[in-house]
Amino acid sequence: MDEALGKLEEDYLDAVDNNQSDSVEAFVEAFLHDSWSYNERNLATIKTAMSRYSQQQIDVDTFSSSFQRMVDRVQEKLQGLDGGGRYPVIQEGRGASLMIAFVDGLVIQYFSGTYTIEQLESDTPYLTQAILHMLKTAS
């Protein structure tokens, strides 16, 4: 596996495993804070991995498998925290995918200069509520 991609995956899985939240709500908020700080600290590594992927130096299947492992770990964590079934999207198995898509979209906007880390941090309570609302939307 590509060194940069492997480091990102390992860090991501460690962050999810180390998120000791005892509720979906607390997990989402901590996940957002972790995402903002991690992306700010590791911008160079992220750019390296994405550049290698776009230049086909990282195999599509390798990249996809790595990303899927990250999504699966978040989904497992969310399902474990939603024992009461309050969040239909989590119970349907799509909670992590949609939450990560939401967060990654904001991270791309950070990279492009639309948001600063300070703005994302101050918006975290609102963003947490938006994600939780999305997770409650039954299909």
**Number of domains the chain contains:** 1
Mean pLDDT of the chain: 89
Quick one: what percent of the chain has pLDDT higher than 90?
A: 57
Whole-number Å distance between alpha carbons of 52 and 58: 6
Which of 125, 96, 97 has the alpha carbon at shortest distance from 36? 125
Domain residues for the domain of 121 are 3-135
Whole-number Å distance between alpha carbons of 82 and 133: 14
Report which secondary-structure segment, H or E, holds 88.
Answer: helix 88-91
> In sequence order, what are the residues at sequence separation of 6 or more whose Cβ sits closer than 8 angstroms to the Cβ of residue 21?
27, 29, 30, 81
pLDDT at residue number 1: 55
Does pTM surpass 0.95? no
